[in-house]
Structure 1
């Protein structure tokens, strides 16, 4: 009987970003441009770091992983939006919906963990510069990234399995452009108390712990920088953290606004706008934020582009 209850809904309908026909084409073009910019920008970052031996340092190793995660994160939602628009379809299968939700959880957690790891890297570089090479070893960096993948995958699996246990009886319309956990909980005709409790407890711990690590790291960084006698030295130290802080504020601001109250009565338009920011806009902006103020990375990117142009 439980299997029959869950199989009553074999697919969901994604209403997308707007129900106004005149807005569909501009939104399609906007999403296509942003997705191409996301993929191209992040792949250039990965290629530049991989081909320049001077960038084979912990900071750029974590940035390379962040770029890879951002490409995957954006690819989890945007291609489905584009395909649905081309084929004039809103359908996504039940299994496809759960798969999309799994990767969203996993990759959002990875973004979360990598931002915390990058904050720790900056803390060691600024507060303990003489011990940086001995503390941030290749083994530790690899372990931090691998551990993040394991925890993110287990967390995503937990929420996906809990969602798979729910019953969806008749209403299968999701007022969103992807299978987000909050709209799915509202559609369920079974008790969602456990799901909501896990989001507010275990999910909150997964989100808050790295955020606290970032705050603690930057408190120590600020204290260390303020002790630098030279204004130029203070500015140079702060400038290495500016890009990371901008990404942290954008990422956490939208995540907290959407997910920390799954039963809230927030307007759907506000939730959708916030999710567009962290699923589409943030992955697109990250390469620009990190490269614009980084001379070494800009030099490596220019070499990659210059080499590709002349190879053609």
Structure 2
């Protein structure tokens, strides 16, 4: 028996039915092996929340801004400080968790370097600290511990997302004179793929990556239900939004699926509006349909399940 076979044999012998083996992916979705994550000898990470933004009306857009959209902002209202200007930003300079500007406004970053297992709790801790700060960058260096989550702090409402062509929102009047920040902004602008949010459906974002275009659409339905509905539409030939466009797979992020369509170069965002609305209606019907899947639908579901990439 070769070394690889002996290793697999030992793992099979010591893993009970339903138990996660030490070399298998951790079920928390971190991408690490179980033995290096929740099965580590020194204990698991502090906390892991599979769907951190659940319950928020803007959940799908929060996931999109955190994982898929390069430059976007959205205002939010803090319950205890309704007159304070607070904005979410997909990315802040240096991936800062938050900035308090000279005018007192708070900018809360979504794409950050830290990860303590519950992004909503992290955002709650950063927002609380930023609201108490005078000016400057606010961040986290240690797990935040117990405390309010984003859901506890903000007025729940759909996000009014503005997608930007670049990162000029980084600059207020004082920062516009900072040559280092201006240089960083110019460098960041050079890395952006053109992106636009569809107006007629929730959390669907077109992007142009050069050799092709994509539509990435974050959807709130439970994964099993959504896969089944998408399989019904695929088997019926109803999942293409435009000619020569096709559903190619999906991302999994923060407990939600984001189906991805490849689109012909030159499609643009505007022509997707009506097809996206029709698809949303067909998807709602497919989600409501009962009964078992047929052979073609089962094959389609298996193919879709195999074309998932977990981001978070």
TM over 0.5: no
More strand by share: 2
- TM-score, structure 1 normalization: 0.23
